[in-house]
Structure 1
Amino acid sequence: MKYQIVPVTPFQQNCSVIWCEQTNKAAVVDPGGDIERIQTAIAEHGLTLDKILLTHGHIDHVGGATALAAATGVEIIGPHEEDAFWLDNLPMQSQKFGFPTIEKFTPSQYLQEGDSVSVGNITLEVLHCPGHTPGHIVFFSSEDHLAWVGDVLFRGSIGRTDFPGSNHQALLDSIRKKLWPLGDDVSFIPGHGPMSTFAEERKHNPFVADKLFEF
């Protein structure tokens, strides 16, 4: 698998173009906006876009999804159906965060814990990781030891839990009970900021380091 991170929107959200080297089929994870920049990355690598994948329903992650789908004819897949209310409230999110108006939409498929999605010959496992939003999901490639965690976990921080439907304890549980068991050697691409590894966060993250939970 190869990937390219494409920062989009004023929030510098880490949209990712990921692709299978055998088939040149690609997926875009969290196209929050700036779809011309995303399409340029796809074209530069000679890829065929196969699907759009969403981790959760916040506008900086989904704001360009319908425009990209319309331009390419691909389906939008994810997040979990518990985030449907965020997708329904995209016009309100647009106004609140100063984005051009984005209309609500329903993805072609919601995803559940234990589902998988394919990109060419690549398989991505789906984990339901609520807390930042109730329907947040994570995509994980066991073969590449790589995860797209959206706004669940960051280098040195964790996702906000002051939104409607957020739950701080659920977020901690998602990180410690869903992500950590994937392995310390897993690298992750967060929704914002630099990459890190689960091992690094287990040692030094001031919110979820292992030492904080030792009794």
Structure 2
Amino acid sequence: MKVRIVPVTAYQQNCSIIKCETSGKAAIVDPGGDVERILAEVEAMGATVEKIILTHGHMDHCAASDVLRQQLEVAIEGPHIEDDFWIAKLPEWCQMAGFPHADAFVPDRWLEDGDVVKVGEQQLEVFHCPGHTPGHVVFLHREQKLAWVGDVLFQGSIGRSDFPRGNHEQLISSIRNKLFPLGDDITFIPGHGPTSTFGQERQSNPFVADQRYG
């Protein structure tokens, strides 16, 4: 599996392109904007996009999803249905934030905890990890020990929980009870900023380190 990170929008959100090297099929993770840049990277990878997958419904992670769905004639999978209210109000959130306009849309498939998303011959496990948003999901490719965590966890920090229906306690629980048990050697791609590992964050992240909760 080949992965490329494409920072998009003024928020420098880490959109990813995941390519199954066996089949050439690919998924775009969290396309928040900059469609041309994303498609140029897809072409450079020699990939054929078969779906779009979303961690959550915030505009910088999903605003370009429907444009790409129509242009590429592919499906959108994710997030969890609890983020429906975020996606339904995309035009309002974009206007309030001075973000490029995006129409509301409905994913082709809402995801649940325990679901599997296929990318070519690869499988991503789905974990419902609320807190930043109520419908946030995380994707794990277990064989490559790589996770896409959206805005749940960052290198040295955690996601905000002060947005509508955010919940700090849920966020901490999602990180410590769902993500950290997956293994210290799991590398994660956050929604913004550099990659890290769950082990590094367990040791040194001031919000969720073991010493804080041990």
Q: Quick one: which amino acid aligns to residue 175 of structure 1?
A: I
Q: Does 1:199 find its partner at 2:199?
A: yes
Aligned pairs for 1:165-176 (under 5 A) are 165-176=165-176
> Deviation of residue 97 (structure 1)?
1.3
Paired with 2:101 and 2:198, the residues of 1 have a C-alpha distance of 36
Gaps in structure 2 of 5+ consecutive residues: none
Amino acid aligned to 2:127: L
Q: Which residue of 2 aligns with 1:50?
A: 50
Structure-1 separation of matches of 2:96 and 2:157: 24
1:34-113 correspondence to structure 2 within 5 Å: 34-113=34-113
1:52-106 deviation per Cα after TM superposition (whole angstroms, max 9, x unaligned):
0000000000011011111100001100000000001101111111112211110
Counterpart-to-counterpart distance in 2, 1:109 and 1:118? 13
Task: Return the letter of the residue paired with 1:53.
Answer: I
Could you say which residue in structure 1 is the equivalent of 2:16? Answer: 16
What's the TM-score, normalizing by structure 2? Answer: 0.99
Q: Which residue of 1 aligns with 2:31?
A: 31
Cα deviation, 1:173-213, whole Å, max 9, x if unaligned, reads 00000001110000000000000000100000010000001
Q: Which runs of 5+ in 1 are unaligned?
A: none
Question: In the aligned structure 1, how far is the partner of 2:18 from the partner of 2:134?
Answer: 25
Instruction: Name the structure 2 match of 1:142.
Output: 142
Cα distance per residue 1:117-154 (max 9 Å; x no partner): 10011100000000000000000011010000000000
Aligned identity (percent) is: 58
Task: Please state whether the residue corresponding to 1:124 is helix, strand or coil.
Answer: strand
TM-score normalised by length of structure 1 = 0.99
The residue aligned with 1:129 is: 129
Q: How many residues of Structure 1 are paired with residues of Structure 2 in the alignment?
A: 214
* Structure 1 counterpart of 2:172, one-letter code: L
For the residues of structure 1 that align with 2:46 and 2:187, how far apart are their CA atoms?
Answer: 26
Letter in 2 for 1:202: R
1:157 aligns to what? Answer: 157
- Alpha-carbon separation, structure 2, partners of 1:73 and 1:97: 29
**1:35, 1:183 → 2: CA distance?**
34
Aligned partners of 2:103, 2:25: CA distance in 1, in Å?
Answer: 28
Match for 1:144: what amino acid?
A: Q
